[in-house]
Every structure is written in C-alpha cells, then in structure tokens.
Chains A and B, each alone.
Chain A
Amino acid sequence: MRPASGPGLVQGIEQTFSLAWRAIVQLKRNPWELGDYSFQPILFLLLFVYIFGGAVAGSVDDALTYMLPGIVVMNMMFVTVYVGHGLNTDLTGGYFDRLRALPVARWAPLAGRILADLVKQGWSIVLLLGLGWLMGFRMEAPIWGLAGMVALVLIFALAFSWLSVLVGVVARDPEHVQLFGFTALFPITFVSNVFVPVETLPGWLQGVVMANPVSILTDACRGLLLGGPWIGQALITLVWAVVLTAIFLPLSLRALRRRLK
C-alpha cells in the first residue's frame, strides 16, 4: 500500500465537503433525481394512504398513522440507490479519474457522495413528515422521539449505502445500478410491515416479514413517533446497521480497488 503521504485529515474533510456540494448542486440539472427525493415519496404517501388506506386500515386517518413511519423507511431505501448511481456515473464517465489525479484524499470522493446522500435523505424525511402533518399526522411522543427517529433512519441509511456503493462499483453503467436497485428494493420494502399489519399475512410469510430489517426499523420509528415501545427494535436496527457495514464496506472498497487497478 501507499505510504501515508496524502493530504491531512483537515484537508480531506474540506475536500469531502466540496465534493458533497458538487453532488447536491448537480441536482439542479437532474430533475429526475430530484423527483425521486421529492415527488416519489409524496406520491407514495398520497397513493397508499388515500387509495389503499381505507381498505387496509379501516380509515384514512388510521392508515396515515400506521403507514407514514414505514413510508419514510421505504423511501430512505430507494434514495440510497443514488449513491451507487452517482458513483457509477463518475467511474464510467471518467470524472473519478479526474479526481484521483488530483491531490485529493483517497477517501474523499466516496465520503463526499455519502455525505451528500445524508443531506438528500434528510430532505426527503422532512418532506414526508411535513406532508404527513398537513394530512393530519400528529406525533404522540415528545420531540426527542422525532430526533431519535431521524437519527435511526440516517444511521441505517448510512449502513445500507455501502450495498449501493458495491453495486455502483460493480455495475457496467448507471442504468444497471438503477435497475438492480429497484428490482431488489421492491420486494425488500414491500415484504414488510410498512403497509399491512403482520397478522394479516400467511404464517410462513410472517416470519420473513418479522425478520426483515425494514419491518424492525419501521416498528422502532412507530414507537419513537407514536410513543410505543421502541428500544428493542432500535437496538436490533443498530445491530443490522453494524452487520451491513461490516459486510459491505470492505467488499465495496475491495471491488473499487480492483476496478481502479
């Protein structure tokens, strides 16, 4: 490996912020991506609550209370796809090489992407909770519950992003990243308790749904927003975050090194 002759930590952090700025400024010229952080969650929320809500939860109000935390989680999963998508665009388009030929900390391009992603995630969460509030959603827990819920979702997003990074490094082009993302994420997010109570499912499926980290995180979020139990589910979520990071961070970095060989 290279000896530690790179830029210092402070410089690396400044570079990370510059690169995060870049990923956010880019949004101005990619309305599709911005739509995924804005219109898609709004659409999810309106469609599921107003169309299916009455049938699934008995009333639109109950549906909103039940589904909003899960839709936040589900949307977070979809937004992570853009970490891999952006990374792949840079790798295939040559921008990554431009960065690597500059005296930039080796970890800054990736860190910049992930930092930008957290900002985008934050934006989506605020948007969803704001719209939910307009539709009549009311928190029943104290304000720290909201802070805890946002923190938990962001921590999980950070961990789950490493899977997206791996896909972004391995995929041939950005379209494949998106295709893979959506194909994998639809079953993962729908085979969960985001929209329907577990009790309504066939027995064999209940086990799968209960084990799905999306369900666990969703339950923790419900507890944090609505004042139910949440500590146990939050702890399991954190364990999942650690496990996902422990698996996909080294795999991503190894794949990246190999691709850049």
Chain B
Amino acid sequence: MSAPAIEAKGLVKRFGETLAVDDVDLVVPAGRVLGLLGPNGAGKTTTVRMLATLTEPDAGQAWVGGHDIVAEAHQVRRLIGLTGQFASVDQRLTGSENLMLIGRLLGQSRQTARQRAGELLERFELTDAADRPVQGYSGGMRRRLDLAASLVGNPHILFLDEPTTGLDPRARRQLWQLIGERVSDGTTVLLTTQYLEEADALADDIRVIDHGRVIAGGSPEELKQRIGARTLELRPEKRADLAAIARIMTELTGTEPEHHGGRLSVPAADSRVMPALVRKLDEAGIAPAELQLRSATLDEVFLALTGHPAESHDENPEQEQEQTP
C-alpha cells in the first residue's frame, strides 16, 4: 500500500495568544475523502492553509503526496488544487481569462491553456458566461469557477474549504455532484464544512473539530450512530397534546424531547422511529400538523459530542494578525 496522500502529525498554529490549531493529526489515504466538520473558527481553515503551504505550522509536521509541506512546499504546490473561502478567482477577469491565466502560470502553452479552460467551462456549465467578467456571476457560478480554477492542473489532491457555504440548495447539490465526479476519478479530497449533511454526502471519513482540536472521528455512519444524526421534529395541531406526545417520543427513543415554540424535537438514530411514532399517534388519536425526520444541524452534533452548542468564533487570519502587529 502506498503512502497516504495527506498525513499530518501534531500540527499546531498560534495567532498571538490564540491557539487556532492544537495538535491535529490527520491521515487521508489516496483516493479517499476526509471531511473536517466544525463551526466557524474551529481551526478548519487554518489546518487547510497549513497543508496547502499558505502558512507554516508552529509545531508538528505534515506531508502531502509524500512531500514535507515546509521543506518541499514547491513540490506540494504542483500536486494540489485549492478552492475555498480564501482562495478566490479574479473578479475583474472573465471566467475564461481566469482559467487561462492559471494554465499559463502552471506552464501550459497558450493553446493548451485555452483548450483546458474551454473543457472546464463546459463541464462546469459556464460556457455561456465564459466571456463575462466574474463580478457579474451568481454565487453558485463563482463557486463553480473557483472549483474549476483549482482543477486546471489536474491535481491529484484537492483541498476544498467550505465549498458550498452560502449557496442555495440547488447550487449546493450541483457542486456536490461536480466534486463527486472528481472523487470517482480517484482524486483525494480534504473537505471542510459546517454542514453534517455535506460531510455525509461527500466524505468517506469525518473528523469533528472544535477549538483547534479533533474531538471525534469516524465514518459518517459511525458518527451518525453515535450522535443520532437525525432529528425527529413534530408540531401537533393542538398544544394540549404536547405532553402526551412527549411521553410517546421518550418511550420510542429513550431521550426526552426538547420543546420550543410548540415543537418537540428528539434525536433519532434509527429511522424506524418515524413509522412507529405515526402508529402510536394514530392509536392515541393525535393529529400532527407537521412531522419530519431531518438531518441534525451542526449545533445538534456539537451538543451530542461536547454537551455545548457550537460556538462560532472568528477565524479570520487577516483579523488575527491585525491584533498582533
């Protein structure tokens, strides 16, 4: 078996007094997708920045494609593609100019660069917008171009930093599909996200990260088993029924539901809870106004893992540095 595509040992990064990344170990075998799941400011972005050679770790070591990220940064850069909140495209160039420029910077001939740009624009459904400046693109189009830009050099290893944050569900699904295609071509991916649903859809393996530390990990299935990744939510027609319903839910799931705003919600590890609940409600003659089984939010994941909700704290290295001139 060949060496892992990405391997990190004890990575540490400080910004002034803040410990942004605290002793992180990661291994991503070639051709696999690892999802780093955590709230804003958990250290996800800083971890990716270190692995993508944008910032040097204060301690620890890491190898990407077998190359040391500090001593062999240049070799690492030849293997990777990077898409994210911080690595952007040029707003004032057209989609096509953006991709061609990157091709040229990678040493492609003018003709190869133009051809490759055309292919990518077509695959990412941007052909119609190819000659328009990026500043007029929608959020979804911009992200697609961003992803295309990271693929110009056909990288074997792809870093995706919150690739769909802020996108509407349709644009998100479209992007997932495009990422999925890369993965089936054998590309190794390190993905950061705030959405359990996204990690679930794309990753083979998930690490939950909080305050710069990895606090849990496993396959999406294992993680969902552990934290009850689905939530059963119910709003009765009559508020008077709330107490009776809460009793039924406790009985079925073993956990007392939370009550807010006339709704009851409870983690449901087993999807068979749903039909069981419907039967019991029917027997009791209670009619639900709304009933749904939905993915747990990041908050619910954190509550399950740490006992506290996800705290969002700013992880903007730019701002960090202004505080520590």
- Measuring CB to CB, which residues of chain A are less than 8 angstroms from any residue of chain B? 2-3, 5-7, 11, 14-15, 18-19, 21-22, 25-26, 28-30, 92-95, 97-104, 172, 258-261
Contacts and interface: CB of A to CB of B under 8 A. Distances in A.
Chain B interface residue count: which class? 35 or more
Contacts of A3: 71
Given A2-B71, A95-B88, A260-B54, 12 more contacts: A5-B72, A15-B105, A19-B105, A97-B82, A97-B86, A97-B88, A98-B149, A102-B153, A103-B78, A258-B321, A261-B55, A261-B56
Given A5-B72, A5-B75, A103-B77, A95 B105 contact: no
Contact of B54 (A11, A14, A100, A104): A100
Interface string B30-41: 000000000000
Contacts of A26: 90, 92-93
Contacts, number: 87
B175 interface: no
Nearest to A104: B105
B74 interface: yes
B74 A6 contact: yes
Contacts of B71: 2-3
A97 B78 contact: no
A101 B51 CA distance: 10
A3 B72 CA distance: 8
Contact of B321 (A15, A104, A261): A261
B92 A29 contact: yes
A94 B92 contact: no
Given A2-B73, A26-B92, A101 B97 contact: no
Contacts of A92: 318
Contacts of A261: 55-56, 321
Per DSSP, chain A at the interface is helix
Contacts of B265: none
B281 interface: no
A87 B321 CA distance: 17
Given A29-B135, A30-B92, A259-B321, A102 B74 contact: no
11 contacts: A2-B71, A2-B73, A18-B105, A22-B97, A25-B97, A101-B80, A101-B82, A172-B322, A260-B54, A261-B56, A261-B321
A3 B67 CA distance: 13
Interface of B: 49, 52-56, 70-75, 77-78, 80, 82, 85-93, 97, 101-102, 104-107, 133, 135, 149, 153, 318, 321-322
B73 A5 contact: yes
A260 B54 CA distance: 8
A30 to B, nearest CB: 6
A97 B54 contact: yes
A95 B49 CA distance: 14
Contacts of B133: 29
A94 B135 CA distance: 14
A54 B33 CA distance: 74
B211 to A, nearest CB: 21
A217 to B, nearest CB: 32
Given A2-B70, A22-B93, A25-B97, A102 B77 contact: yes
A93 B82 contact: no
A30 B153 CA distance: 29
B321 A102 contact: no
A62 to B, nearest CB: 43
Contacts of B75: 5
List of 6 A-B pairs having minimum Cβ-Cβ separation, nearest first? A94-B88, A103-B77, A98-B87, A26-B92, A101-B82, A18-B104
A100 B49 CA distance: 11
A220 B310 CA distance: 65
